[in-house]
Structure 1
């Protein structure tokens, strides 16, 4: 919602100030289709040249994220902590054998099935199950497991940031493409140097529209989209860091409730449940399905 308001405000302030200062939209509107073709078209072409198919798909999908906001809401964090509570509680009270059936086939697990939103995230499920599987294989050194989890998180985060990085690269190149379009306009103008001043003035004005559009699109549209997408990816990444916090705390020998409280403390403030809310949820959560 705020992104739509921001876009409307952006166009209103930029073009409104231009019109109020006495500027004529005819010059911009006349040159707009050609300049957009040269700048935005070239920008998209360069984007396709410089990125893989997977990155292009991730970038296109990222536009939806820009308007939808963060994937994980407060309820999802509560569900994640509840899921981890049941898994760690089962492991402590029943041992690793009781846990194996859940982590080997999470799709058939009565514990995992209670949280369909989390089940749809394959990385989250694999991250939880792979880490618990390492624990069942007698790899109980918290530092080794934390290091392995760090590497998985770093890899996943790097791949998730590909779309935002590609958009930012495109934004960095648009002002230069605007100059290219402007130079082409000047070349066209110089080829008509014998025309009267009023005609040449219109042609030079049209050429300068290219420079304007390149800078406007870069810093007013594409750059902010890239920054917003990066912010969302960083925010969603916090969800996976909670998994690491809870499981590492569990490895250090903490009770399940303590491990969950450590994880709750790492949840972003805007989505963080209170201690009382979490305690009530965990009180009603069975240790094993």
Structure 2
């Protein structure tokens, strides 16, 4: 919502100030199609040249995150803590054998099925199941498990940030591409140097539109979108950090409720359930889960 408001304000204030000060929008509108063909086309071309197909697809899909924000809401963090509570409680009270059926086929698990949104996130499910599987294979050193989890998180985070880096590279290139368009306009103007001053003035004005559009798009639109995309990825990454915190706490021998309380401390402040809210959610879990 705020992103849409920001875009509206961006265009309204920049072009509004230009019009109020006596600027002629006709010059910009006349030059805009050709300048955007040069600048926008070159920007897309450098984006395709410099990035792999997964990054290109990720960037296209990431634009939705700019406006919708992180996919994990406060209720999802509460659900994650409840899911981890059930898994660690099952492992502690019923043993490894009782847990195996849940981590080998999470799609058929009576525990995972209670949390469909989390189950749809393949990385979250694999991250939980792979870590618990290591524990069932007698890898019970908390430091080794934590190190293995940290490497998985770093890899996932690096891949998730690739689209925002690619978009930021495009933003960094736009001012220079605007200069390219402007230089082409100056070359065109110099080729018509015998024309009257009024014609030359209009041609130079059109050439400068290229520089303006390159800087305007870079710092007013594309750059902020890349920053927002990165911010959303960082916020979503906190969700997986909670999994690490709870399972490592469990390996240190803490009770299931203590482990999830440690995990609750890692939840972002704006989405963090209170102690009582989490306790009510855990008490609502069926005893035979």
Change (3 A) 1:143 1:288: farther
Residue of structure 2 equivalent to 1:52? 52
Task: State the distance in 2 between where 1:244 and 1:94 align.
Answer: 22
Q: Which runs of 5+ in 2 are unaligned?
A: none
Residues 1-289 of structure 1 correspond to what in structure 2 (within 5 A)? Answer: 1-286=1-286, 288-289=288-289
Task: State the distance in 1 between where 2:233 and 2:40 align.
Answer: 25
Task: State the distance in 2 between where 1:114 and 1:68 align.
Answer: 25
Task: State the distance in 1 between where 2:278 and 2:8 align.
Answer: 40
Task: State the distance in 2 between where 1:34 and 1:288 align.
Answer: 68
Task: State the distance in 2 between where 1:190 and 1:57 align.
Answer: 42
Task: Report the count of equivalent residues.
Answer: 289
Task: State the distance in 2 between where 1:253 and 1:287 align.
Answer: 22
Contact between 1:86 and 1:288, CA under 8 Å: does it hold in 2?
Answer: no
Contact between 1:171 and 1:218, CA under 8 Å: does it hold in 2?
Answer: yes
Task: State the distance in 1 between where 2:137 and 2:166 align.
Answer: 40
DSSP-derived class of the 1:110 partner: coil
Deviation per residue, 1:87-125 (Å, 9 max, x gap): 000111011111011101101100000000001000000
Runs of 4+ in 1 over 4 A off after TM superposition: none
Task: State the distance in 2 between where 1:25 and 1:99 align.
Answer: 68
Task: State the distance in 1 between where 2:3 and 2:284 align.
Answer: 39
Aligned-residue offset at 1:274 = 0.7
**Root-mean-square deviation (CA), in Å?**
0.7
Aligned-residue offset at 1:286 = 3.2
DSSP-derived class of the 1:236 partner: helix
Deviation per residue, 1:239-276 (Å, 9 max, x gap): 00000000000000111111001101110011111110
DSSP-derived class of the 1:22 partner: coil
Aligned-residue offset at 1:284 = 1.7
- TM-score, normalised by the number of residues in structure 2: 0.99
Task: State the distance in 2 between where 1:90 and 1:265 align.
Answer: 22
- TM-score, normalised by the number of residues in structure 1: 0.99
Aligned-residue offset at 1:288 = 4.5
Contact between 1:87 and 1:287, CA under 8 Å: does it hold in 2?
Answer: no
Contact between 1:90 and 1:288, CA under 8 Å: does it hold in 2?
Answer: no
Task: State the distance in 2 between where 1:238 and 1:287 align.
Answer: 29
Task: State the distance in 1 between where 2:96 and 2:142 align.
Answer: 16
Task: State the distance in 2 between where 1:197 and 1:189 align.
Answer: 11
Task: State the distance in 2 between where 1:211 and 1:232 align.
Answer: 31
